Chain A
């Protein structure tokens, strides 16, 4: 039995826009009249989706309207048609959900790795990010990135600063975000030539300059101190096996610090806010992306079960993370009373395996709702993934939506008891993770929609992580 297609609050023209090819759009719109809504009835898949959405909706809504509730309602109205139906006209999987548009996304990422016109000068300092997001996106989609190996090594040797670390490009000052993206890109393509393009000795000195007396890290010399700095620095140190001891010229030594991890756990602890979330720096508002940085950093300092329980209030943290999942959208927002956004599929979705490792818990979040949001609402018609319907695809949202999908599909577990060949060294905790097969319960993805395994802390393939650390483990000195 067919039920009527639900009334969409999107205007017929904006619904059409997603369906029509670009070339037809103008003419078609000019003579479209208002009776679009009456076209036919909902398909079987649409009925199932509508029933599902009804089943996860919070049945309470306050009457008071404020800016927050208005923009939330508008967002929901823009997202719902994609969760209910299939405005992009994608082929559906066996669950009636749009299939992962793998080839389109790979083609999109090839573009984001290529040349940019002059209007993109604003990205000049973020080029390492573009490379990282594009390569990671391709990897998780199963595309071989080895063809980029030489150009990655070349691109980042130009961006490496003589005093250590990497900048956004040639002649730019070193910055921890640029260095993080550069190092991860190099780790992903791998190989001795790429690894050796990094000067680890100057890197050690540069990181020493970033370490602050209060335990945290600044992003650049004279730059802001925030939790990204702490995370990026520890990722780099662990992967490249940089000595934990502060270099002799590190300013923090004057305050009695001797190790990169001195005061770090305590500093991260101060970033936990009153509602349980994590903020950029002590006192700021809790935010999903900073939560991932905080949990990631603690999981490099030591096993999550030890470090998270030591430095964080776990019950309020879980409560806050759980509250980030938007209902009925299924995707995550970054802060209380903000809007769903595909990039938090990773920033929040990626926190769960770390958290579950810390509490020996399992399956405390809604993987299927997140997967629905990613597959139904966050895939752009022409390739690439997005924040939410109506937004443009970019490498950033493509990378982090796909990482979130990986977190939903795969089980990532921390095996403290298993001695890996990488165990025993400094900052070795991230090497005890392993992927333990696919999640089967309540799944909404078909076998063609499965993306690759992603290391839960480093957000690159497992193999790349292990090869890199082994390479530098076997090296003596710098």
Chain B
């Protein structure tokens, strides 16, 4: 395998959606496809004639960021407010909430009230999952649907079918934060830490894209997260170190496996020098023209920093990073260098 630097490919592809921030959805689409479905109204529906809808109260002044709702949405919300006010949990509430969710899937109030209704009615949770499966792809980036799914699967008490479903979702968006977080919940809830299939699947995800950091995080979660603070066995530590090294050899400038490798070594309380020979394969500071990974240099700076008489080498590695191999972080590398000078020993295990 060659480690030679090369120029990036010029392939073009539509940009992926932006990473999700913890702050609710931010942007409505500029235009939504006009639904072929007829709008649904309740005022002429005999099944709802006992309900007096509660219209939205906007008081006197014109509120900020007001939305000109469609009549359909306004009316449905009026009926929802009315049933919520009388704490009604019924089949027809399930229909109503489904209708509103189809118009606004980011409406946490509707999801939460639906979850409560399901629970009060002892409604079929299998049916709920079937319905969720149909709409899931449309709402991949939506906090509420994944939390709702979690609530339902928790009550159902079985993860059956879920791993496959998640895998399908990740085919669309392999780093979706909600989907991975849900998977971690699933592993924890149903004790799948030691599950061979789970580890196997994670390995396939990493194999497909060795830079998928979400998959690396999940591997960590399976290997270390399930231990609840207890140490990881020697055999497993060796296996993980080998695994990460193998991944690094595929693409040495990929930070995910380097972070994983350092994490495992720290977790096992091994000295960082365990990794010295390996790091030197990618970055020999005596031959700056043959450096194939800035992350190897970074690690070497720590390893040299921990050694008795290698402080100069540590500084050299940090200088190479600051001036040549990772100059955008020059201030950070100099900060690390400053720490070396201050403490006399490293203490910097990054």
**Inter-chain contact B22/A228, CB cutoff 8 Å:** yes
- Give the residues in chain A near B331, CB-CB below 8 Å: 363-366
Residues 218-229 of chain A, each 1 if its beta carbon lies under 8 Å from chain B, else 0: 011111101110
Q: When chains A and B are docked, how far (Å) is the Cα of A172 from the Cα of B77?
A: 10
**Inter-chain contact A335/B19, CB cutoff 8 Å:** yes
**Inter-chain contact B174/A227, CB cutoff 8 Å:** no
Name B's A-contacting residues (CB within 8 A): 2-13, 15-16, 18-19, 21-32, 54, 56-70, 73, 77, 80-81, 84, 103-109, 112-113, 115-116, 143, 147, 150-151, 174-175, 177, 180-181, 184, 188, 208-214, 217, 220-221, 224-225, 250-256, 259-260, 263, 267, 291-294, 324-332, 335, 347-350
**Inter-chain contact B26/A126, CB cutoff 8 Å:** yes
B65 partner, pick from A127, A275, A333, beta carbons under 8 A: A127
Q: When chains A and B are docked, how far (Å) is the Cα of A347 from the Cα of B19?
A: 12
- Give the residues in chain A near B26, CB-CB below 8 Å: 126, 129, 394-397
Question: Is the contact region of chain B dominated by helix, strand, or loop, or is it mixed?
Answer: loop
Residues 311-345 of chain A, each 1 if its beta carbon lies under 8 Å from chain B, else 0: 00001101110110111101001111111010100
- Give the residues in chain A near B116, CB-CB below 8 Å: 222
**Inter-chain contact B349/A315, CB cutoff 8 Å:** yes
Q: When chains A and B are docked, how far (Å) is the Cα of A119 from the Cα of B31?
A: 7
Name A's B-contacting residues (CB within 8 A): 9, 55-78, 112-127, 129-131, 134, 148, 150-152, 154-155, 157-158, 167-173, 175, 177, 219-224, 226-228, 273-276, 280-281, 283-287, 289-290, 293, 315-316, 318-320, 322-323, 325-328, 330, 333-339, 341, 343, 347, 361, 363-366, 369, 387-388, 390-392, 394-397
Query: Given A69-B211, A125-B108, A322-B332, do A60 and B63 touch, yes or no (CB 8 Å)?
Result: no
CB distance from B39 to the nearest CB of A (A): 12
**Inter-chain contact B58/A170, CB cutoff 8 Å:** yes
**Inter-chain contact A123/B10, CB cutoff 8 Å:** no
**Inter-chain contact A336/B255, CB cutoff 8 Å:** yes
**8 A–B pairs (Cβ distance < 8 Å), ordered by A:** A64-B210, A117-B68, A121-B104, A170-B56, A173-B109, A175-B108, A274-B220, A337-B213
- Give the residues in chain A near B253, CB-CB below 8 Å: 58, 60-62
- Give the residues in chain A near B61, CB-CB below 8 Å: 150-151, 154
Nearest residue (CB) in B for A387 is B18
**Inter-chain contact A274/B260, CB cutoff 8 Å:** yes
CB distance from A431 to the nearest CB of B (A): 24
Q: List 7 tightest A-B contacts by C-beta distance, closest first.
A: A319-B350, A68-B211, A274-B263, A62-B251, A275-B259, A396-B26, A130-B65
In this complex, the member of B103, B251, B347 whose beta carbon has the largest number of chain A beta carbons within 10 angstroms is B251
**Inter-chain contact B11/A131, CB cutoff 8 Å:** no
**Inter-chain contact A284/B181, CB cutoff 8 Å:** yes
Nearest residue (CB) in A for B116 is A222
**Inter-chain contact B103/A73, CB cutoff 8 Å:** no
- Give the residues in chain A near B19, CB-CB below 8 Å: 287, 333-335, 338-339, 341
Q: A69-B8, A337-B212, A339-B19 are in contact. List 19 more A-B contacts (CB 8 A).
A: A58-B325, A60-B294, A65-B9, A118-B69, A123-B25, A129-B23, A169-B63, A171-B77, A175-B108, A177-B24, A219-B108, A280-B177, A285-B213, A325-B328, A326-B328, A335-B214, A336-B213, A337-B256, A391-B18
CB distance from B56 to the nearest CB of A (A): 5
CB distance from B64 to the nearest CB of A (A): 5
CB distance from B302 to the nearest CB of A (A): 9
B64 partner, pick from A113, A388, A390, beta carbons under 8 A: A113
Query: Given A9-B10, A293-B22, do A124 and B104 touch, yes or no (CB 8 Å)?
Result: yes
**Inter-chain contact B13/A70, CB cutoff 8 Å:** yes
**Inter-chain contact B18/A68, CB cutoff 8 Å:** no
Q: When chains A and B are docked, how far (Å) is the Cα of A58 from the Cα of B106?
A: 40
CB distance from A460 to the nearest CB of B (A): 15
**Inter-chain contact B10/A58, CB cutoff 8 Å:** no
CB distance from B132 to the nearest CB of A (A): 16
Query: Given A67-B174, A116-B68, A283-B225, do A158 and B57 touch, yes or no (CB 8 Å)?
Result: yes
Query: Given A66-B209, A170-B56, do A280 and B27 touch, yes or no (CB 8 Å)?
Result: no
**Inter-chain contact B56/A171, CB cutoff 8 Å:** yes
**Inter-chain contact A280/B22, CB cutoff 8 Å:** yes
**Inter-chain contact B210/A66, CB cutoff 8 Å:** yes
**Inter-chain contact B184/A283, CB cutoff 8 Å:** yes
Nearest residue (CB) in B for A326 is B328
Query: Given A125-B24, A315-B348, do A365 and B332 touch, yes or no (CB 8 Å)?
Result: yes
- Give the residues in chain B near A134, CB-CB below 8 Å: 64-65
- Give the residues in chain B near A287, CB-CB below 8 Å: 19, 22, 177
Q: When chains A and B are docked, how far (Å) is the Cα of A42 from the Cα of B4?
A: 30
In this complex, the member of B108, B116, B250, B331 whose beta carbon has the largest number of chain A beta carbons within 10 angstroms is B108
A68 partner, pick from B10, B23, B209, B324, beta carbons under 8 A: B209
**Inter-chain contact A394/B27, CB cutoff 8 Å:** yes
Q: When chains A and B are docked, how far (Å) is the Cα of A258 from the Cα of B153?
A: 32
